[in-house]
Structure 1
Amino acid sequence: MSSDPDITRLPASPPPPPDARDAAVQQALLRFDRKSAATAQGISTDIRLIERTAASLRPSRERPVMKRTRYLLAASLACLVAGSGAYLHLMRSPQVAQFAPPVEQKLASNEAARVEPTVQAKKESESQAQPQTQIPTATPAAKPNPEAAARSAAAAPPPATPHVEDRILSRVAPQAPAATDRVQGFMPGTSSPYSARSRGDYRTDDGFNRASPPAFAQQMAPAESLPDHTQRERVPGLAEPAGRDKFANAPENAFQIARDAPVSTFSIDVDTASYAFVRAQLNRNVLPPAASVRTEELINYFPYDYEAPASPDEPFRANVAVFPNPWAEGRKLIRIGIKGYALQQTNRPRANLVFLIDTSGSMQPLNRLPLVKQSLAMLVTQLQPEDRIAIVTYAGNAGTALEPTSVSEKAKILATIDRLEAGGSTAGAEGIRRAYALAEQNFDANGVNRVILATDGDFNVGITNKDELKGFVERQREKGIFLSVLGVGAGNYNDALAQALAQNGNGVAAYIDTINEARKVLVEEASSTLFPIGKDVKIQVEFNPAAVAEYRLIGYETRRLNRDDFTNDKVDAGDVGSGQTVTALYDIVPVGGPRTVDDLRYGARAAASGAPSPAEYAFVKIRYKLPRSDRSVVISTPVDRGSESARFEEAPLDARFATGVAAFGEILRGGKHTGQFGYDDVLRIASAARGDDPYAYRAEFLQLVRAAKTASAMQPLRP
């Protein structure tokens, strides 16, 4: 071995040539190819080793992953379906209009705080919202500048994020139909409300174009301000209010001692609103409130076959009957019936009618404005070509939907009615003023001038005081313009106002709860509803103290008059229409019968029961005026023994049926004077006295009595 110093003295090895490495590699590859030419590379199996190893590991790693993926996809799909269903349910719910705006407003404020646009962005968005009226001038073409475009793109504000309210309303509100003319209130001959809004204006409840409201007012509008067909789709789901009805009634009449107060005076009542309201409640399986039951209106709902007068010069004829009281042994009933003269269709006067229609938001449900529209359309078909109709609508404001138009243009009138829609508050007083102005403008001295008000009575804008409205209607009545009321709805129905307006307007008050009731009032009884044959009709009955110890008028609590009002032609009373019937029942205690009021110790004693019975029980006087006269006429008839039936079953058929109806009304009011008389007794009497029933009104009454037996005392709470 050489030592280190020897190594350092060895000469340095020469550097290898540049291609020596490549040559060595080539030689090694050639030797490898020659050596392994006869042997195949790899393994003899079909699968590589790494794949064989991975195959045994794949089930334990990939299968759980696939299962978890499937579970996640299924859960996501279920959440999507459930969320969509819940969203649609909430948006169709009646509460969404009440609770959605505040929530949307809060979300919108949070979003606005999160993304605050710059001043430049606000200006640009406002400029985009305004209609472009300037025509841009042509500019010479210039080369595109990439750097300038990049700078402008960087300086441009981000696109405005839509408000939350807009996103929600865009999902709820369907697209506007291609052609629609339905608006709140109405204005004929105008374009769609959607096109009006796109121009920057909108239509109010009274049908007039107003300036467009602020943007925030449009965004925060409740769901009820959506397009009209959306309202119609959601009407069936709207829950009506409950417990806010107002009724015109008074405590039941008490027994009067004939010796102390022998005279009874009252105005006739031909209204039928109470019966229809009672029917509507019983059809809901709920007993009506006692205050809603006016027994005389239940009795007078049905036509009776009384003897008719022969001439319009004496338009009334009285029919009287006396028979035993079926619910109180020893007492008797006196039936007073009146039938008016029936005008011939060719002889009836012309009609100048103004339909005053409530189109406020409370009239949206199907049993309100939609039913009113059907009812008035049926009435139009009963009028003559020479009659005239005008239409006034009122909501937040009042508007004239149709100027006075001849019924010969029936298609135009019906189209106007069909276009009415509901929405807004209720300015009823303003609508009444406008309707009377139109009626006075087209006053027909030889015809019937009448305003027909269709409403739920929920006046909440303008004059809402009942006495003020009554005074206005009374003054118009003196001019020869009368008022009738068609009431609709339940839950907030103002029966008290409807009765006050109709009574002071020399008209009738009807309640329309079904299309069949509309047909009865406005088609089958159109002549009696529209054309009076006698006005200010009063009845005064003087009882004979020698034959009658006590008496009680059944019903008519809101129609009682003072004794001296009978001869005072300035005192208003009810009207009777063409062919109409009026019925009144008195419950009397004959002398010697079971008293309800004891005699006074120091007062005069009643006649002894052994004294001979006088020939007359009472004397009936009827005072009325002809439609164009201011002087009253009196007709009279005695109630004597000749009109008495010894047994109830021998009484006239109509008298027995009216007795059953009266008993039903008294039971609904609490049965203070009917004792143990019940619904089964009513059914027994009314079924036996049903008689001729061409329109099945009496058959329907029997069904209502059966419904009352199982009806609930109060309306059930909504879930």
Structure 2
Amino acid sequence: MARGLRAAAMLALAATLLAACSASGPNASSDSGKNAAPPVYGPTGTPEGLAGGAATPEKAGDADRAAAGEIAAADRPVSTFAVDVDTASYSFAKRTLESGRRPAANTIRPEEFVNSFDQQYREPTGNGFAINTDGTRLPATHRGAEDNARLLRIGLQTRGGSDANRPDAALTFVVDVSGSMSEPGKLDLVQHGLDTLVDQLRPTDSVALVAYSDRAEVLRPMNSVRDREAVHAAIDRLKVAGSTNLEAGLRLGYDTARKGFRGNATNRVILLSDGLPNVGTTDATPLVREVQEAAAKQISLLGVGVGSDYGDRFMEQLADKGDGYVVYVSTEAEADRVFVQQLPATVALRALDAKAQVEFDPKTVISYRLIGYDNRTLSASQFRNDRVDGGEVGPGHAVTALYALHLRPGAEGHLADVRVRWQDPKTREPSELSEPLTVTTLDRDFTEAAGPLRVSYAAAYLAEVLRASQYAEEVRLTDLLKIAQSAGDSAQVHGLATMISDAASLYG
């Protein structure tokens, strides 16, 4: 890859670290794809035990019984989860499919597929969140889509920001320089990105640089970027060699960040790695504890994953516990989409420890299922316990949750109450917002649903297929492809359609 091309790709990284994202979602279209595909649901090679068909409401019994895999609202009406703004699962699965391979099922997280798309949500006028809700009946092509089945979309949106009013940044870059980073598109991409970033930072911003392979080394302690040539010289010293002692790199990175901590700035450790440690501790658990401790000291973590071989789960665990998130970049186009369009400025925050809660009305809802967020669910009592970790959300960021649910026959009136709770990044004072929903929110034919909602459906159920869940048998990839093709005309949506097509060739 030419130097100029790499620099252009990583210009997007610099923009992410310094400026808010722009929100432009797919355009609505009118048709979900009504032509029948061959009557085979689920991917070829579905694990044994699912081939006979997942239980459907018809098999489940009377009309008041919870659908298979759903939670009975009468037994547990409250659903609570920590918000998640990670998107690495989608990006890495996309690259894996493009290379002609099936992604590992345990790397697929449906909420990250959904959160990879612009949703066109309304922004709040102040800090915190705006709650956006809509819903639809399931498409006619969805297996078991009886009359009382619905899809609910809940969107939490923060206000955008600008580089002009962001706080100063104190950034500690922790760069993997082990032998596995020699692959094109790894260390070379990282270096060009850092060079581009340095040229855009303010003189009042501070940067530290830590490199690790067999051991970790501070190439530059925390100092302002007024002497940009000195920073570029430190970046040029990054050379590939040795094994991957991620433990040593992260520990030294946080130690460097603590020593250079600035009280009035946004303090962040940015880990750039393929996430494949092979010496030191290779278990994320002890590192997660260290990251949690540092997060309590207001040092947050951003993980930037690179490479065709990538430790997705390891990086995700670190970021989730470090009041941060993780993204994945493989190409120039991916860098532009992820770093410029999707993500907020990483040196500013709107909310810490954000949690969402939906309380369904058992009088109108038989059962429900939160799609994804498997490792982010919380008990109802943890919603207002501000010692319990939530998610970190930046300016202009959106978080989407999809619920599959079944209504009671003739249901009308109150459906649910949606709540979101978060802490102010500066004062740590908690705030809470709530909004009631009615059944009419969901009373819309799928072909008339908003384009972003149809995209969310296609992305979520593609994830169900890729992770070989029981819900994979409810959809056909050919139908998901038609839905994606008709749901919008943006590059994002075209990318989803291509991804579904790639999956069909591997799973069909």
**TM-score band, normalised by shorter chain:** 0.7 to 0.9
Question: Structure 1 residue 642: deviation in Å?
Answer: 4.4
Following the alignment from structure 1 to structure 2, what is the Cα–Cα distance between the partners of residues 651 and 712?
28
Write 1 or 2 for the structure with the bigger share of strand: 2
Determine the structure 2 residue equivalent to 1:562: 379
Question: Structure 1 residue 622: deviation in Å?
Answer: 0.5
Determine the structure 2 residue equivalent to 1:341: 159
Report if the CA contact (8 A) 2:344-2:397 is conserved: no
Deviations 1:238-267 (A, max 9, x none): xxxxxxxxxxxxxxx931111111111111
Determine the structure 2 residue equivalent to 1:321: 134
Report if the CA contact (8 A) 2:118-2:452 is conserved: no
SS at match of 1:276: helix
Determine the structure 1 residue equivalent to 2:58: none
Following the alignment from structure 1 to structure 2, what is the Cα–Cα distance between the partners of residues 511 and 380?
21
Determine the structure 2 residue equivalent to 1:279: 94
**After TM superposition, which residue ranges in structure 1, 4 or more long, deviate above 6 angstroms?**
none
Establish whether residue 351 from structure 1 lines up as the match of residue 169 from structure 2.
Answer: yes
Any stretches of 5+ residues in structure 1 without a counterpart?
1-252, 593-611, 714-719
Establish whether residue 419 from structure 1 lines up as the match of residue 234 from structure 2.
Answer: no
Determine the structure 2 residue equivalent to 1:441: 259
Question: Structure 1 residue 670: deviation in Å?
Answer: 2.2
1:589-608 matches, cutoff 5 A:
589-592=406-409
Deviations 1:63-83 (A, max 9, x none): xxxxxxxxxxxxxxxxxxxxx
Determine the structure 1 residue equivalent to 2:64: none
Change (3 A) 1:382 1:587: farther
Determine the structure 1 residue equivalent to 2:475: 677
Determine the structure 2 residue equivalent to 1:548: 365
| Letter in structure 2 aligned against 1:259 | A
Determine the structure 2 residue equivalent to 1:310: 125
1:482-561 matches, cutoff 5 A:
482-491=300-309, 493-524=310-341, 527-561=344-378
Deviations 1:202-228 (A, max 9, x none): xxxxxxxxxxxxxxxxxxxxxxxxxxx
Question: Structure 1 residue 333: deviation in Å?
Answer: 0.6
SS at match of 1:457: coil
Following the alignment from structure 2 to structure 1, what is the Cα–Cα distance between the partners of residues 507 and 318?
32
| Letter in structure 1 aligned against 2:395 | S
Change (3 A) 1:410 1:702: farther
Following the alignment from structure 1 to structure 2, what is the Cα–Cα distance between the partners of residues 654 and 525?
14
Write 1 or 2 for the structure with the bigger share of helix: 1
Following the alignment from structure 1 to structure 2, what is the Cα–Cα distance between the partners of residues 582 and 284?
29
Determine the structure 2 residue equivalent to 1:249: none
Any stretches of 5+ residues in structure 2 without a counterpart?
1-67
Question: Structure 1 residue 674: deviation in Å?
Answer: 4.7
Following the alignment from structure 1 to structure 2, what is the Cα–Cα distance between the partners of residues 387 and 582?
29
Identity of aligned residues (%): 36
Count matched residues: 436
SS at match of 1:529: coil
Question: Structure 1 residue 481: deviation in Å?
Answer: 0.8
Q: Which sits farther off after the overlay, 615-624 or 416-425? A: 416-425
Change (3 A) 1:619 1:381: farther
Change (3 A) 1:589 1:525: closer
Determine the structure 1 residue equivalent to 2:487: 689
Determine the structure 2 residue equivalent to 1:641: 439
SS at match of 1:549: strand
Deviations 1:520-539 (A, max 9, x none): 44445564333221011101
Question: Structure 1 residue 426: deviation in Å?
Answer: 2.0
Establish whether residue 291 from structure 1 lines up as the match of residue 106 from structure 2.
Answer: yes
1:479 to 297, 306, 309: 297
Report if the CA contact (8 A) 1:569-1:630 is conserved: no
Following the alignment from structure 1 to structure 2, what is the Cα–Cα distance between the partners of residues 532 and 661?
27
| Letter in structure 2 aligned against 1:442 | G
Report if the CA contact (8 A) 1:378-1:519 is conserved: no
Following the alignment from structure 1 to structure 2, what is the Cα–Cα distance between the partners of residues 395 and 687?
44
Question: Structure 1 residue 395: deviation in Å?
Answer: 1.0
Determine the structure 2 residue equivalent to 1:469: 287
1:75-474 matches, cutoff 5 A:
254-312=69-127, 315-326=128-139, 327=142, 328-330=145-147, 331-474=149-292
| Letter in structure 2 aligned against 1:588 | L
Report if the CA contact (8 A) 1:528-1:576 is conserved: no
Following the alignment from structure 1 to structure 2, what is the Cα–Cα distance between the partners of residues 408 and 647?
58
Q: Taking structure 1 as the reference length, what is the TM-score of the superposition?
A: 0.58
Change (3 A) 1:673 1:623: same
Determine the structure 1 residue equivalent to 2:456: 658
Q: Which sits farther off after the overlay, 288-297 or 381-390? A: 381-390
Following the alignment from structure 1 to structure 2, what is the Cα–Cα distance between the partners of residues 419 and 622?
45
Following the alignment from structure 2 to structure 1, what is the Cα–Cα distance between the partners of residues 506 and 200?
37
Report if the CA contact (8 A) 1:398-1:430 is conserved: yes
Question: Structure 1 residue 671: deviation in Å?
Answer: 5.3
Following the alignment from structure 2 to structure 1, what is the Cα–Cα distance between the partners of residues 289 and 181?
26
Q: Taking structure 2 as the reference length, what is the TM-score of the superposition?
A: 0.81
Question: Structure 1 residue 651: deviation in Å?
Answer: 1.8
Higher CA-based Rg:
1
Following the alignment from structure 2 to structure 1, what is the Cα–Cα distance between the partners of residues 146 and 200?
48
SS at match of 1:332: strand
Following the alignment from structure 2 to structure 1, what is the Cα–Cα distance between the partners of residues 494 and 392?
28
Q: Which sits farther off after the overlay, 507-516 or 578-587? A: 507-516
Following the alignment from structure 2 to structure 1, what is the Cα–Cα distance between the partners of residues 498 and 435?
36
**Alpha carbon RMSD of aligned pairs, Å?**
2.0
Deviations 1:20-50 (A, max 9, x none): xxxxxxxxxxxxxxxxxxxxxxxxxxxxxxx
| Letter in structure 1 aligned against 2:212 | Y
| Letter in structure 2 aligned against 1:499 | E
User: Which of structures 1 and 2 has the larger relative contact order (alpha carbons within 8 angstroms, sep 6+)?
Assistant: 2
| Letter in structure 1 aligned against 2:483 | I
| Letter in structure 2 aligned against 1:670 | A
